[in-house]
Structure 1
Amino acid sequence: MNTSLKGLLLTGLLALGTALPAAAALKEGATAPDFSAQASLGGKPFTFSLKEALKKGPVVVYFYPSAYTGGCNVQARTFAVNKDKFAAAGASIIGVSLDSIERLNEFSADPEFCAGKFPTASDADGKIARSFDLTVKEARAGQKDSRGKDIDHGFAERTTFIVTPDGKIAATVGGLNPVENVNKSLEIVQKLKAG
């Protein structure tokens, strides 16, 4: 099997494995676990605090498998393109993955994806994802990203949580493709604003 075909098959398998519904994820009405994490915005690292972000309004906490992979690239780009609509609804966005902060510094600044529009946080040990009752899959040897670089970290399932300023989960969005995930999240924060 040639390398490009193997890469396509691997990408397809990754997409299938991460598109399953978030069966065990925290549900609407649950208290969102508070967390702080090393994050990056436009390539600049900082410490993200959910508690602090919630003081300004609802927070869209979206977990994704890995920077620089097919579906995650599409999802990041879709969030970036729609960032102003989320802001108009009073919501901020934070992406969370098991990527290292070094990978996220690149991804958060990449004009094709996050484009410096919203931060991404490093959950290198998967502790934050697990606190939201998400499944974390271990890294597998030989996995490559869309740039051909090795992926040496585990994967959280693609699930988005809309957290209201009181720390409660208003909605859990899982089991959708990356674009639908963003669109559904936007619809929810717009409804929250409308009251």
Structure 2
Amino acid sequence: MHHTPALSSTRHVALAALAACALIAGPAQAALAVGAATPDFTLDAAVGGKAFRFTLSEALRQGPVVLYFYPKSFTSGCTVEAHQFSEATPKFKALGATVVGVSNDSLATQQRFSVEACRGQFAVAADEGGKVIKQFDAGFTLAPSVADRISYVIEPPGRVLAVHASMDPDGHVGAAMAAVQAWQARQGKR
């Protein structure tokens, strides 16, 4: 079979793009280990379509925070994960925990996502430029401003209680819930 130079060139570009995507999609390893201090941050966020400023240290005054990073609003895996967190949010709230998702999407995108995928149950924050993603070492290796799928449970006043890193959206809610429940049980024993 004979290939024309243009077709061959197009094929090489397509193969190079696929290879680059595979490298970028390789998961990062969460650098913040259990027990590590977390950096404080403030980001524009939305819940139920309404914009506000989310500050980690303020949320921690109420109890633990489930801070989950995800790659891109409105993609299939991220939408599945948001649905799972929205269904679990009432139980997290009953345990005194706050749920917040973070990606490098714009605030306008997060406002829509907070209604459509998060169903108004929890906030999603806009980390355009990926500053907070980088602070939590939650980015992809070759694209550090794009969030990997990493969930942290942070206990007051700001220490990592648990980490769950997996591109599979299933498992994040369960791991976070188990960590919050264990934390809550320890609080009752004090």
Shorter-chain TM-score bucket reads 0.7 to 0.9
How many angstroms apart in 2 are the aligned matches of 1:92 and 1:52?
Answer: 11
> What's the secondary structure of 2:101's corresponding residue?
strand
Among 95, 117, 128, the residue aligned to 2:132: 128
How many angstroms apart in 1 are the aligned matches of 2:25 and 2:167?
Answer: 12
> What's the secondary structure of 2:171's corresponding residue?
helix
CA shift at 1:155, angstroms? 2.2
Percent sequence identity is 39
2:57–2:157: 8 Å Cα contact kept in structure 1? no
Contiguous gaps of at least 5 residues in structure 2: 1-17
1:34-183 to 2 correspondence within 5 Å? 34-110=40-116, 113-136=117-140, 138=143, 155-175=146-166, 177-183=168-174
- In structure 2, the partner of 1:144 is none
How many angstroms apart in 2 are the aligned matches of 1:168 and 1:38?
Answer: 22
2:68–2:149: 8 Å Cα contact kept in structure 1? yes
How high is the TM-score relative to the length of structure 2?
Answer: 0.81
> What's the secondary structure of 1:37's corresponding residue?
strand
CA RMSD of aligned residues (A): 2.1
> What's the secondary structure of 1:194's corresponding residue?
helix
> What's the secondary structure of 1:71's corresponding residue?
helix
CA shift at 1:94, angstroms? 0.6
Deviations 1:127-146 (A, max 9, x none): 0010012224549xxxxxxx
How many angstroms apart in 2 are the aligned matches of 1:89 and 1:190?
Answer: 7
How many angstroms apart in 2 are the aligned matches of 1:161 and 1:82?
Answer: 16
2:30–2:163: 8 Å Cα contact kept in structure 1? no
Greater CA drift, 22-31 or 123-132: 22-31
- In structure 1, the partner of 2:25 is 17
Which amino acid in 2 is paired with 1:122?
A
2:148–2:167: 8 Å Cα contact kept in structure 1? no
- Matched residue pairs, number? 166
2:30–2:165: 8 Å Cα contact kept in structure 1? no
Q: Which runs of 4+ in 1 moved over 3 A?
A: 136-139
Greater CA drift, 169-178 or 122-131: 169-178
How many angstroms apart in 1 are the aligned matches of 2:138 and 2:82?
Answer: 19
Contiguous gaps of at least 5 residues in structure 1: 1-9, 140-153
> What's the secondary structure of 2:121's corresponding residue?
coil
CA shift at 1:170, angstroms? 0.5
From the CA coordinates, give the structure whose radius of gyration is larger. 2
Distance 1:175 1:24, change over 3 A: same
How many angstroms apart in 2 are the aligned matches of 1:109 and 1:176?
Answer: 23
Among 175, 185, 192, the residue aligned to 2:176: 185
How high is the TM-score relative to the length of structure 1?
Answer: 0.79
How many angstroms apart in 1 are the aligned matches of 2:30 and 2:64?
Answer: 22
> What's the secondary structure of 1:107's corresponding residue?
helix
How many angstroms apart in 2 are the aligned matches of 1:119 and 1:45?
Answer: 9
